[in-house]
């Protein structure tokens, strides 16, 4: 299983780990997209089924999944911009600071989004 080598972190650089996490979050987001589209089309089955799904996803217990999904999306987006810059040859001499900036931006954006989602779900 050659693809499992993507996630072998021992002895790898932070750049390799970042790229592996980028791949992993991409896979998670594609799986979520399929699930989300299935969820949206559940209204064709019946209004009761759709409302049941909707009520389930707006519970505090489901908030953890939403927060992790936002982490995957934010990381994938911010790291993707960093990779695009490198592909165009921009900022290559600043690779390490850009990587640290990527992680910092991911953390700040994720914490802000998580806080906003918490306020929304809890009705504050």
Residues 106-124: tens digit of each pLDDT: 999 999 999 998 888 777 7
- pLDDT bin (cut points 50, 70, 90) of residue 7 is low
Query: Does residue 57 register a pLDDT over 80?
Result: no
Question: What integer pLDDT is reported at residue 1 of this predicted model?
Answer: 66
Question: What integer pLDDT is reported at residue 27 of this predicted model?
Answer: 94
Question: What integer pLDDT is reported at residue 61 of this predicted model?
Answer: 80
Q: Where are the alpha helices (DSSP H) in the chain?
A: 14-40, 47-57, 63-87, 95-122
Question: What integer pLDDT is reported at residue 3 of this predicted model?
Answer: 66
Residues 15-46: tens digit of each pLDDT: 888 988 999 999 999 999 998 888 778 777 87
Q: How many CB atoms lie within 10 A of CB 36?
A: 12
Mean pLDDT of all residues belonging to the chain? 87
pTM: 0.82
Fold of 15-122: 3 helical TM bundles of succinate and fumarate reductases (1.20.1300)
């Amino acid at each position: 299983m050659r693809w499992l080598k993507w996630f072998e972190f021992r002895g790898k650089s932070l750049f390799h780990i970042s790229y592996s996490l980028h791949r992993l979050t991409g896979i998670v987001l594609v799986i979520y997209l399929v699930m989300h589209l299935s969820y949206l089309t559940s209204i064709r089955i019946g209004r009761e089924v759709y409302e049941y799904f909707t009520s389930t996803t707006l519970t505090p217990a489901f908030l953890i999944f939403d927060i992790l999904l936002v982490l995957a999306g934010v990381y994938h987006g911010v790291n993707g911009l960093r990779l695009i810059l490198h592909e165009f040859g921009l900022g290559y001499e600043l690779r390490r600071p850009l990587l640290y900036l990527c992680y910092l931006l991911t953390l700040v954006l994720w914490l802000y989004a998580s806080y906003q989602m918490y306020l929304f779900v809890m009705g504050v």
